[in-house]
Amino acid sequence: EPEVTQTPSHQVTQMGQEVILRCVPISNHLYFYWYRQILGQKVEFLVSFYNNEISEKSEIFDDQFSVERPDGSNFTLKIRSTKLEDSAMYFCASSGLQGATDTQYFGPGTRLTVL
């Protein structure tokens, strides 16, 4: 069964460093998303991406964040200068053709630890 994959599973970085989190969405999907879950808190929406551009973003998704689909398979989240409060689990999701039965499928997540 097709699935969303994410790498790395765990990333440790120093405050102020740039990180890139990678995702491979399900191959025929058209909508891509990033969410994050700070330990003990709700899963929060960051950004959605469709047709090679951001379709929606939350207040969390400030200028430090960017997303890219550099080729036909990868979808990346870049944090330019990490802060301690960026420590969280980051989930990528994708969904397919518009239709009643399509839903967002999530990857296993990348745990980001900022020291």
Partner 1 sequence: GEDVEQSLFLSVREGDSSVINCTYTDSSSTYLYWYKQEPGAGLQLLTYIFSNMDMKQDQRLTVLLNKKDKHLSLRIADTQTGDSAIYFCAETEEYGNKLVFGAGTILRVKS
Task: Using CB under 8 A, count the residues that bind partner 1.
Answer: 28
> What does residue 100 show for φ and ψ, rounded to 5 degrees?
-65, -30
CB of 59 to partner 1, least distance (A): 11
> What does residue 46 show for φ and ψ, rounded to 5 degrees?
-105, -55
The two structure tokens encoding residue 62: 């400030």
Which range touches partner 1 (CB under 8 A), out of 15-23, 36-44, 68-76, 80-88?
36-44
33 binds partner 1 per the rule CB under 8 A: yes
What is the CA angle 83-85-88, rounded to 5? 110
Residue placing its CB nearer to partner 1 in the complex, 10 or 16? 10
Would you tell me how many other CB atoms lie within 10 Å of the CB of residue 78?
13
CB of 44 to partner 1, least distance (A): 8
As a whole number of angstroms, the distance between CA 38 and CA 79 comes to 15
Q: Which residues contact 115 (CB under 8 A, 6 or more apart)?
A: 12, 13, 14, 15, 84
Q: Which of residues 63-92 bind partner 1 (CB under 8 A)?
A: 91
Q: Which of residues 37-66 bind partner 1 (CB under 8 A)?
A: 41-45, 48, 50, 55-56, 58
- Interface ranges with partner 1 (CB under 8 A): 4, 31, 33, 35, 41-45, 48, 50, 55-56, 58, 91, 93, 95, 98-100, 102-109
